[in-house]
Amino acid sequence: MRTAVIGLGLIGGSLLRALAAGGHEVTGFDADPATRELARESGFSIAGSVTDAVRHSEVTALAVPLTVLPRVAAELAGHDGLVTDVTSVKGPVRDLMGARRFVGGHPMAGKETSGFAVSEADLFAGCAWVLCLEPHETDLADWLSLARLVTSMGARVVPVTAAEHDVAVAQISHVPHLFAAVLAEQIAGNPLAGALAAGSFRDGTRVAATRAELTAAMCGGNVTAVRGELRQLIGDLERMATALEQADPVAALIPHLEPGARARRAWPAVPGAPERLPASVGALLDLGRSGGWVTSVGDGEVVALRPESDRKLL
């Protein structure tokens, strides 16, 4: 396949390497001349502009920050190839791309470090990679060819609408960052608490050390979903606080703790046997909603895994 990668940081650089390693024709571009030079020295075909990079591309991946996407999208105005992206919010990107041939993506991969220098061809092996599928909007053939490309890099493709994706990442990443921040702030005013803090504090606040600007940009980029999920969890905490006001606070608190305890013990889910599914929008979205993913794409069907039903019911 003829491919292009725009933006050669950790994710884009790793994608460039993975596509080349998979035998695809791939051209890269980065706005930073030093990064372009570094990538060229590593033996890759690097263009001097977005337009040149995508000239013959069948699939183009935009691996630039959310704030840069509008500018890059504008540069793709005349291009009719399939475009995908790798940003961590999908609703706003879907709106931005309008009527172009586009399938939003989000590889759940990363490292503590960033930049082309630390990129690697096998970064995506085993990771979940969301590919957005909007009923009556996404071209299923485009979705399947992208899913084939992504599964060939060893990633698990999760089919999901942009709206469902944004709620899920608010739940499992963005709101946890806000929780970590308020937990960590407690020791700012109480050095004694810092001296006594151990495991539950260490783990519950780990992501609070992230730069405030990065966490704010992440949450602000997904503001509708984050606000909704945060309000929901504030309600849950309010109900716990009320339980702690009852005559028997221990008995009153238990039912508020049990669903989370069960859910955490059953996570991560153990997949059942591989199944063959028709490559239809309905079957794919049902797979994603049940916690499953595509492992390979065949002719009119996909091979998929999903959590064992007995564990789902735990």
With CB under 8 A as the contact rule, the residue among 42, 51, 171, 296 that binds a second copy is 171
Residues numbered 51 to 70 that lie near a second copy (CB under 8 A) are none
Q: Which residues contact 20 (CB under 8 A, 6 or more apart)?
A: 26, 44, 121
With CB under 8 A as the contact rule, the residue among 197, 281, 283, 303 that binds a second copy is 197
With CB under 8 A as the contact rule, the residue among 74, 141, 244, 270 that binds a second copy is 244
With CB under 8 A as the contact rule, the residue among 21, 74, 261, 270 that binds a second copy is 261
Inter-residue contact 18 to 129 (CB < 8 Å): no
Q: Going residue by residue from 202 to 241, which x/- string records binding to a second copy, judged by CB under 8 A?
A: -xxxxxxxxxxx-xxx-xxx-x--xx-xxx-xx-xxx-xx
60 vs 87, beta carbon nearer a second copy: 87
Inter-residue contact 86 to 14 (CB < 8 Å): no
Number of other residues whose CB lies within 10 A of the CB of residue 172: 11
Of 20, 7, 203, nearest to 114 by C-alpha is 7
The 3-class SS string of 202-268 reads HHHCHHHHCCHHHHHHHHHHCHHHHHHHHHHHHHHHHHHHHHCCCCCHHHHHHHHHHHHHHHHHCCC
58 vs 275, beta carbon nearer a second copy: 275
48 vs 65, beta carbon nearer a second copy: 65
118 vs 233, beta carbon nearer a second copy: 233
State the minimum distance, in angstroms, from the CB of residue 46 to a second copy.
31
H/E element, 160: strand 156-160
State the minimum distance, in angstroms, from the CB of residue 207 to a second copy.
5
Which structure tokens are listed for 113? Answer: 């470090």
77 vs 188, beta carbon nearer a second copy: 188
- Please tell me the distance from the alpha carbon of residue 266 to that of residue 222, in angstroms, as a whole number: 28
Inter-residue contact 200 to 179 (CB < 8 Å): no
60 vs 161, beta carbon nearer a second copy: 161
- Please tell me the distance from the alpha carbon of residue 81 to that of residue 195, in angstroms, as a whole number: 57
With CB under 8 A as the contact rule, the residue among 192, 273, 299, 300 that binds a second copy is 192
Q: Going residue by residue from 126 to 165, which x/- string records binding to a second copy, judged by CB under 8 A?
A: --x-x---------------------------x-x---xx
Inter-residue contact 161 to 130 (CB < 8 Å): no
Residues numbered 75 to 114 that lie near a second copy (CB under 8 A) are 108
State the minimum distance, in angstroms, from the CB of residue 227 to a second copy.
5
Residues numbered 273 to 312 that lie near a second copy (CB under 8 A) are 288-293, 307, 312
- Please tell me the distance from the alpha carbon of residue 3 to that of residue 21, in angstroms, as a whole number: 13
State the minimum distance, in angstroms, from the CB of residue 249 to a second copy.
4
